[in-house]
Every structure is written in structure tokens, then in C-alpha cells.
Amino acid sequence: AQSVAQPEDQVNVAEGNPLTVKCTYSVSGNPYLFWYVQYPNRGLQFLLKYITGDNLVKGSYGFEAEFNKSQTSFHLKKPSALVSDSALYFCAVRFLYNFNKFYFGSGTKLNVKP
Amino acid sequence: EAGVVQSPRYKIIEKKQPVAFWCNPISGHNTLYWYLQNLGQGPELLIRYENEEAVDDSQLPKDRFSAERLKGVDSTLKIQPAELGDSAVYLCASSLGLAGTTDTQYFGPGTRLTVL
């Protein structure tokens, strides 16, 4: 089955420290990977995506993600966390061979403490 | 540029009542999606439109849910009758819809439905 997993329901990090939000996927074929952020009572906002090319993708608000094909992972990272980064983060996988469908992970709540 | 617009933002109804949600996608976006998001979970696709055609409605509970996108622009999602378990956030998203590409979906703020 094609799916995406976010193994951590919650990640806690102190302001100024690096953060990582994990995402793994299972797929037959080439995946296209996305990260979205959701603030309370708001829709999902696009952060970044990996299509092809350089495994390290840079996105909005200083976030980046590294595609690792051997580990089927696409972890979201930021070198220095801000309190304002506290939100819900969703990884999504898109498979062009399945009607352009997006599959979303269950989400990871990021808490950045001052 | 205006983003995806949804209304209403919040809706509270009694069970067995009908309810409708409206979405206006980003101008020029051919593909429109309706998602259901339960608390603490990721969005789940209900239906996807390419212009006015529903190309994937396999997850839409057709006994009570219906959707339309008559002119290939804005869309309406309806529930009739609503059940307690329908309480959730209903998200609309749109994308350019370029065939064979990896265009990005952009989401509206959602409609939070509470069924009492």
C-alpha cells in the first residue's frame, strides 16, 4: 500500500535549537513529497516540496527538508527554531500513477519553548 | 492574489439537518479538492475535480454527501442529512492542474462543522 507516516505525534524543542520533524513513506514508483504547516483555525500552508534533483530542498520560513531514497524519508529541518514555528506539520506524498492523489500523514505538533 | 476562499468559517447545526459549504479556488486553478480533516489527523480526500468533472470521488459517502462544480470554478459540498460523526473541518484546496506535473495544492482556511 502507498502511504506516508509521521512517527512522532509531538516534538518539543527549545527556541534557538535545531528541529527535526520526521516523515517516512512507502511507495512503488517515484514519490513527490511535500511539507505543509497548519496554524490554529487556519488552512494548510505550503512549505516546500521535493520533485527531483538535489536531495536538500529549501522552503519558506527557513525550513528545509532532506530526501533520502534509501531510507524512504523526507524529514523537515530548521537550524534554529522560533517560538512562532509552533504549529501542526503535515507531510504529504503524491503519486502520479494514482490519479494524482495526495496522501497526508497524521501530523506532528511542534512545540517550541522560549 | 487572493487565496482559496471558503464560507462559512464555522457552522453549527442539529443532526439530520442539511448543510452546505462553498469554495472559490485561486483564479486560473483548474483542479479543486475537498478534504475532510478530523481533529488531530491529516486531511482525507473526499472528491477531486478537474474543471467541472469529478475525477475521483471514491471516498465521498454518496448516501449523504454531494458536491458540484457546475462552471468549473467555484464548488459546493453538501451534507444531507448531517450526522454527529460529520463534525470536522472541511478543507478546500486548488491547484493549477497541469497534467503530468507536480503542481502544489493551496488550501483555504476551512469550514469547521459542529453537529449537535
- Average pLDDT, consecutive stretches of 10 residues, N- to C-terminus, chain A (114 residues): 86 97 85 91 90 89 93 95 96 74 90 96
The pLDDT score that the predictor gives to residue B101 is 60
Contact B107/A102, CB-based, under 8 Å?
A: no
Looking at the partner chain, which of B4, B44, B102 has a beta carbon nearest the beta carbon of A51?
B102
- Contact of A4 with A25, CB cutoff 8 Å: yes
Return the pLDDT at B3: 92
Give the SS3 label for residue B85: helix
pLDDT at A47: 95
pLDDT at B100 over 60: no
CA dihedral A21, A26, A31, A35 (to 10 degrees): -20
Among B114, B116, B115, B101, which Cα is nearest to B9's?
A: B114
Question: Is B112 within 8 Å of chain A by CB?
Answer: yes
Q: Return mean pLDDT, chain B.
A: 91
Tell whether A71 is within 8 A of chain B (Cβ). Answer: no
Percent of chain B residues past pLDDT 70, beyond the cut: 95
B28-83 confidence digits (pLDDT tens): 899 999 999 998 889 999 999 989 999 888 889 999 999 999 888 999 999 999 99
A44 to chain B: closest CA residue: B107
Mutation pick from B98, B105, B111, B113 vs chain A, by most beta carbons of A within 10 Å, is B105
Q: Does B81 touch chain A (CB under 8 A)?
A: no
Q: Which residues contact A113 (CB under 8 A, 6 or more apart)?
A: A12, A13, A14, A15, A83
pLDDT at B102: 64
